[in-house]
Amino acid sequence: MTNDSENNLNNIDMEDILDVMGCRTRREIIELLRDEPRFVSEISKKLCIGQKAIIGHLKAMEAIGILESSFKKIIRGRPRKYYDMPHDFKINISITKNSFDIKISEDILNLKQLPSGDEWSKLLELEKRIDNGQWEAVEELKNQIRLYNNLKDRAEYILKRIEKN
């Protein structure tokens, strides 16, 4: 990401970020767009939500800079408007007795390759515990790594089995 895109991330209103992340439909849209750019009717069909509602969500997320849109020519008809997530970024929310802070920053890792949902939250929690000196969390982290390796091995086994057929 360039400095320009980092500056754009810093200009995103934190209330808007909380609004996006607080809406299940918007999180589901983001999850779909992590895979590949998509057009409105495709998103609508995948999520079983009306196109008008999807358009509203997409426009809101595009307006704050989380999504971008572009037109692509298709064989028949007019060009389609595709939506995409142009940046990988990290949102950190810190809540303590004395403060409430939200920071958005460039994520050095490719979010498209990271686990989502509960697995990611658990991993971040383990990291936080280890950073705070709770060394028993290291064993839990090792267990998580073993679990992820077992899942990966099983997924590769399934893929090989499918490729043979």
Domain boundaries along the sequence of the chain: 3-95, 115-164
How far is it, in rounded angstroms, from Cα 43 to Cα 56? 12
User: pLDDT at position 5, please?
Assistant: 42
**Region for 110 from its dihedrals, namely left if φ exceeds 0, alpha if ψ lies in -120 to 50, beta otherwise:** beta
Contact 27, 57 (CB under 8 A): no
Contact 68, 62 (CB under 8 A): yes
| Confidence class for position 9, pLDDT limits 50, 70, 90 | low
Whether the pLDDT of residue 85 is over 50: the answer is yes
Helix (H) or strand (E) holding 95: strand 89-95
| Confidence class for position 159, pLDDT limits 50, 70, 90 | confident
The dihedral sign for the CA sequence 86, 90, 93, 99 = negative
Whether the pLDDT of residue 68 is over 60: the answer is yes
Q: Which two tokens stand for residue 134?
A: 């709770």
Q: Which of 116, 102, 55 is nearest to 83 (CA)?
A: 55
Contact 13, 64 (CB under 8 A): yes
Q: Give the residue-averaged pLDDT of 112-137.
A: 73
**Angle in degrees, CA 117, 122, 126, rounded to 5:** 150
Q: What does DSSP assign to residue 79?
A: P
In this structure, the number of other CB atoms found within 10 A of the CB of residue 67 comes to 23
Q: Name which residue leads in pLDDT, 76 or 120.
A: 76
How far is it, in rounded angstroms, from Cα 165 to Cα 47? 31
Whether the pLDDT of residue 153 is over 80: the answer is yes
The dihedral sign for the CA sequence 70, 73, 74, 77 = positive
Of 7-11, 64-68, 159-163, minimum mean pLDDT range? 7-11
| CATH of range 3-95; options 3.40.50.300, 1.10.10.10, 1.20.1600.10, 2.60.40.10 | 1.10.10.10
Each residue of 25-61: pLDDT tens digit? 999 999 899 878 899 999 999 999 999 999 999 999 9
